[in-house]
Amino acid sequence: MRKLAITGGGRCNLTNSFACVFSESDRQPDGTFPSAARAMDLTSVYPRGSRFMKKVFSRFDQNDCYRWFEDKGVQLVVQPDQCVFPRSQDAMQIVNVLERAMREGGVQVICGQKVSAIAPDLSVRFADGNVVHPDAVVLTSGGATANILEQCDLKLLPPVPSLFTFKIADDGLRSLMGTVVDDVTLGLAGTNFRSHGTLLLTDWGVSGPATLRLSSYAARWLASEQYRSDLLINWLNDSESGVRERLAIMSEGSRTVANSHPSELSDRLWRMLVERAGIRPDARWAELGSKGLSRLVNVLISDSYPIVGRARFKEEFVTCGGVSLDEVNPSRMECRNLPGLYFAGEVLDIDAVTGGFNLQAAWSTAYTAAKSIATL
């Protein structure tokens, strides 16, 4: 429960409405958004485990989770970004509800006992040498702990961090720390990894939802590259022709390049980008010529910065890897080759982007495992 108490910055983003999130630009002429209830594509939120989660959700999904907590007396709120929090904005409420449910269910909780290994006969060895032989074992030990199963001859995928921010070696970018750009596209040079959303510039590089999403999609690839790559930024989330059109309109409205900037970009950021294109901010539009204009367009749609490492996102940290999903029956959460051994949560090779999807995976897999054991 210690980790649960600090989730969502102490507020616990316990699930998500799983509805599409639309931006202002999606608004239709009649003022509505297109089919706001449309379900989110699971592959876009679970980089690893989306197909498996689809099956698990047929037993216990976000709506079941919502009802489960409300039945236990927790009022919930759905934020405009579709993230679900307790109305109290207090993760301890969730901890208390779960502890009360355990007490009411007659669960005996023993703390401070480290499990060192689970054997193929399902005997569980503790670090103090004690060994128990339960009827069923559910392993819920979180990320980077699958080594407990080393004797079991199961496919285990090496743990790799997911959800992190990028250290960028560029003083110009770092000098703009605190700048937020709402709708960018990020990419990694030479790959198909892309993400959209809000970008936050920090004193070490870049953060914000778009960065976290990219780190999650590319977690394994970035680990194999030792967190060295080139970050591509499309500052306006637009095509080359779209950006050229916008610049043409902007150049009609002002004489110097510095005097007008796209509304999404701050004055300081615009000046830095103009300088990166080798243009003096006080240059007149008419002076740019086709080469200058092309350089500016290129910086706006395909700006490149060296990633020199990863940084943790305010302690928010998820691990990909763990028990391979090939080993697990999703309708029971039971090990295919070792009946009686169950898994739930982050010990599995399932992980998601931010937004309550990781806890939802833990609730859904845990519920399924518990139901299976209850019907033994």
Ligand X SMILES: Cc1cc2nc3c(=O)[nH]c(=O)nc-3n(C[C@H](O)[C@H](O)[C@H](O)COP(=O)(O)OP(=O)(O)OC[C@H]3O[C@@H](n4cnc5c(N)ncnc54)[C@H](O)[C@@H]3O)c2cc1C
Q: To the nearest whole angstrom, how small is the minimum distance from the Cβ of residue 338 to ligand X?
A: 18
Nearer to ligand X, 141 or 234 (CB): 141
Q: Which of residues 148-177 bind ligand X (CB under 6 A)?
A: 148
Q: To the nearest whole angstrom, how small is the minimum distance from the Cβ of residue 191 to ligand X?
A: 26
Place of tokens 């940290």: 317
CA 132 from centre of chain = 37
Q: Which of residues 203-242 bind ligand X (CB under 6 A)?
A: none
Q: To the nearest whole angstrom, how small is the minimum distance from the Cβ of residue 121 to ligand X?
A: 19
Q: Which residues pair with 15 in a beta bridge?
A: 84
Q: Is 323 in the site for ligand X (CB under 6 A)?
A: no
Among 199, 219, 257, 318, binds ligand X (CB under 6 A): 318
Q: Is 201 in the site for ligand X (CB under 6 A)?
A: no
The helix/strand count (H/E) of the chain reads as: 12, 18
Q: To the nearest whole angstrom, how small is the minimum distance from the Cβ of residue 339 to ligand X?
A: 22
Nearer to ligand X, 114 or 291 (CB): 114
Q: To the nearest whole angstrom, how small is the minimum distance from the Cβ of residue 150 to ligand X?
A: 12
Per-position b or e across 168-180, b if 16+ CB within 10 A of its CB: bebeebbebeebe
Nearer to ligand X, 214 or 265 (CB): 214
Radius of gyration of the chain (CA): 24
Nearer to ligand X, 188 or 212 (CB): 212
Nearer to ligand X, 24 or 315 (CB): 315
Among 19, 125, 142, 196, binds ligand X (CB under 6 A): 142
Nearer to ligand X, 162 or 237 (CB): 162
Please check whether residue 343 is in contact with residue 148, taking contact to mean a CB–CB distance below 8 angstroms: no
Please check whether residue 132 is in contact with residue 123, taking contact to mean a CB–CB distance below 8 angstroms: yes
| Amino acid type, 365 | T
| Cα separations in angstroms, 74 against 1, 13, 25 | 17, 13, 35
The token pair that represents 112 in the structure block: 């401070």
Per-position b or e across 129-158, b if 16+ CB within 10 A of its CB: eeeeeeeebbbbbebebbebbeebebebbe
Alpha helices in the chain (DSSP H): 2-6, 42-45, 50-57, 62-71, 91-104, 171-174, 209-217, 219-224, 240-253, 267-276, 285-302, 357-374
Among 158, 317, 326, 336, binds ligand X (CB under 6 A): 317
The DSSP call for residue 284 is: B
Number of residues engaging ligand X in binding (CB under 6 A)? 25
Q: To the nearest whole angstrom, how small is the minimum distance from the Cβ of residue 35 to ligand X?
A: 25
- In the bound state, the residue with its beta carbon closest to ligand X is 345
Nearer to ligand X, 238 or 334 (CB): 334
Q: Which of residues 55-114 bind ligand X (CB under 6 A)?
A: 114
Nearer to ligand X, 210 or 362 (CB): 362
Phi-psi sector, 335: left (phi>0), alpha (psi -120 to 50), beta: beta
Nearer to ligand X, 103 or 314 (CB): 314
Q: Which of residues 334-373 bind ligand X (CB under 6 A)?
A: 345-346, 356-359, 362
Q: Is 6 in the site for ligand X (CB under 6 A)?
A: yes
Nearest Cα neighbor of 332 from 55, 54, 121 is 55
Nearest Cα neighbor of 296 from 277, 276, 272 is 277
Q: To the nearest whole angstrom, how small is the minimum distance from the Cβ of residue 300 to ligand X?
A: 34
- Alpha-carbon span 268 to 287, nearest angstrom: 21
Nearer to ligand X, 4 or 223 (CB): 4
Q: Is 7 in the site for ligand X (CB under 6 A)?
A: yes
Q: To the nearest whole angstrom, how small is the minimum distance from the Cβ of residue 354 to ligand X?
A: 7
Q: Is 291 in the site for ligand X (CB under 6 A)?
A: no
Binding site for ligand X (CB under 6 A): 3-4, 6-8, 12-13, 114-115, 140-142, 145, 148, 315-318, 345-346, 356-359, 362
